[in-house]
Structure 1
Amino acid sequence: MTQQNVVLVTGATKGIGREIARQFGALGWTVVVGGRDLGRAEAVVKELVSHGGDAAAVRIEVTDPASAQVAAEWIEEKYGRLDVLVNNAAVIAEGDDAVSAISAKTLRDGFETNVVGLVATTQAMLPLLRRAEAARVVNMSTELSSLARVGDPESRMSTVLTAGYNSSKIAVNMLTVMLANELRGEGILVNAADPGNCATDMGGWDAARTPAQGAAVAVRLATLPADGPTGELHDESGRLPW
């Protein structure tokens, strides 16, 4: 059984998730690359190993609770515990639009992945996290989930009309705070990370920030000391207002 820290990153086959996996690999962690397509996850593992990292691939479709449970059983058998869970898998559902225009299906599709899938994955991994000495959970969120920022008519955030994505990430923030409260006595820190708008499929390839810049905040929150914050939303500069 490995003595290295073990991290699971969901949605790690591309974009920010892939970069989070790379950065953990550079730190010498054992990286479990989670993805819906096992072949693509294995390609990322091959890349990490070629740079001297220790990595393995696992198929995990967050909208399928059975998939998360199978992944947890595989991690338990291979490593015996999990030190960090990064809930990165997320979507901006097709047709996401303003509140006045979004369809019920689009709203449901976004919440199914971004909220329900996050909860199912976290529940499956919690027994393994509780076996670690200082486990951390990082939920990827966004400045678009900040009511203070979106509610400011002078803010650029107020002009982004993806009602499904924004509201699902507000739900992620609440789940982050509630889980942090639930685990506070166990030494498990739970925080949400805003990577900013990065050049990815989701953020658009003309975005100013790189995936590496976006990943850094998640890695920082995942490696907090025991006296670090919990139940907060952070970007690269520090805590963001809810």
Structure 2
Amino acid sequence: MQTVLITGANKSIGFETAKQLAAQGYFVFLGSRDIKKGEAAADQLKAAGYSQVQAVQINVADPASVAAAKDTVSKQISSLDILINNAGIMGGYQQMPSAISPDVLHEVFNTNFFGAVHVTQAFMELLKKSGAPRIVNVTSGLASLTLHSDPAWKYYAIKSAAYGPSKTALNAYTVALAYELRDTAFKINAVDPGYTATDFNQHRGTGSVENAARIIVKYALTGADGPTGKYFSNDINGESDESPW
């Protein structure tokens, strides 16, 4: 059975992504900072008929927690087919560059960027044992420097000193990692699920979690001839969902 680990999977987009992959026959490890919430999410999926799910405690901002999660997963599987770095935090809504606290910057980057790096490196050994390893780094349209420089962009006025830059850094890491592993079976992409109605934005988003998860699953399941080192978004209109960097 193929396997997937999703961080931040106890609710919202992460939970829906877990549900959609479980429906396709994957054994899903639901990463959750709060193990009780993770277990409740796993029980909810099991009650819906998805038996191959398990909660795993993982705080991506804590290297010791990441290492413990890796040990837990390694005792049960010999390889990991998909890693979805979904866990993230906003850091509040007052992120003026001239006034934001460096502590907030550290907190946001520690989860959104360094957390994803810690998890990726910790699970790299298991991923390399898969015949078709996939990594999806869940990013944001607010990571795009090209769009942020375009006054015609619909979200042009939404600037953040911590959240957006943390995802820009994640995009850059995605490119570098994909290049490093370019001659292997890895496919590594950054995926923006779009402006989705979740707790993350106080349900002000316009998209559904079902649609948001769908694009994540799409690139988690990309084939051998699929893209790598690319940036895709649900907010792109046209034949392709590739986003400008």
Report the TM-score range of the alignment, normalised by the length of the smaller protein: over 0.9
**Equivalence for 2:244:** 241
Q: Deviating runs (4+, > 3 A) in structure 1?
A: none
**Equivalence for 2:137:** 139
**Equivalence for 2:193:** 195
Are positions 1:109 and 2:107 aligned together? Answer: yes
Which digits, 9 at most, give the CA deviation of each residue in 1:198-219, with x for residues without a partner? 1101133132101111111110
Gaps of 5+ in 2: 235-239
Alpha-carbon separation, structure 2, partners of 1:125 and 1:193? 20
Which digits, 9 at most, give the CA deviation of each residue in 1:27-72, with x for residues without a partner? 1110100001111111111122222221011100001111111111
The residue type paired with residue 91 of structure 1 is I
Q: Which of 30, 38, 44 is residue 47 of structure 1 equivalent to?
A: 44
Q: What's the CA shift for 1:101?
A: 2.5
Are positions 1:28 and 2:25 aligned together? Answer: yes
**Equivalence for 1:225:** 223
Please, which moves more after superposition, 154-163 or 80-89?
154-163
The residue type paired with residue 121 of structure 2 is Q
Tell me, what secondary structure is at the counterpart of 1:134?
coil
After TM superposition, the score normalised by the length of structure 1 is 0.95
Q: In the alignment, is the contact (CA less than 8 A) between 1:145 and 1:170 conserved in 2?
A: yes
Alpha-carbon separation, structure 1, partners of 2:214 and 2:184? 25
The residue type paired with residue 38 of structure 1 is I
Alpha-carbon separation, structure 2, partners of 1:206 and 1:86? 24
Tell me, what secondary structure is at the counterpart of 1:28?
coil
Q: Which of 53, 71, 83 is residue 73 of structure 1 equivalent to?
A: 71
Alpha-carbon separation, structure 2, partners of 1:108 and 1:170? 15
Q: What's the CA shift for 1:186?
A: 1.6
The residue type paired with residue 157 of structure 1 is Y
**Equivalence for 1:11:** 8
Alpha-carbon separation, structure 2, partners of 1:56 and 1:96? 36
Q: In the alignment, is the contact (CA less than 8 A) between 1:96 and 1:164 conserved in 2?
A: no
**Equivalence for 1:206:** 204
Tell me, what secondary structure is at the counterpart of 2:115?
helix
Q: What's the CA shift for 1:96?
A: 4.2
Are positions 1:63 and 2:61 aligned together? Answer: yes
The residue type paired with residue 64 of structure 1 is D
Q: In the alignment, is the contact (CA less than 8 A) between 1:96 and 1:165 conserved in 2?
A: no
**Equivalence for 1:92:** 90
The residue type paired with residue 51 of structure 1 is A
After TM superposition, the score normalised by the length of structure 2 is 0.94
RMSD in angstroms over aligned alpha carbons?
1.2
The residue type paired with residue 122 of structure 2 is A
Q: In the alignment, is the contact (CA less than 8 A) between 1:75 and 1:81 conserved in 2?
A: no
The residue type paired with residue 241 of structure 2 is G
Gaps of 5+ in 1: none
Identity, in percent, stands at 39
More helix, by proportion: 1
The residue type paired with residue 241 of structure 1 is P
Tell me, what secondary structure is at the counterpart of 2:75?
helix
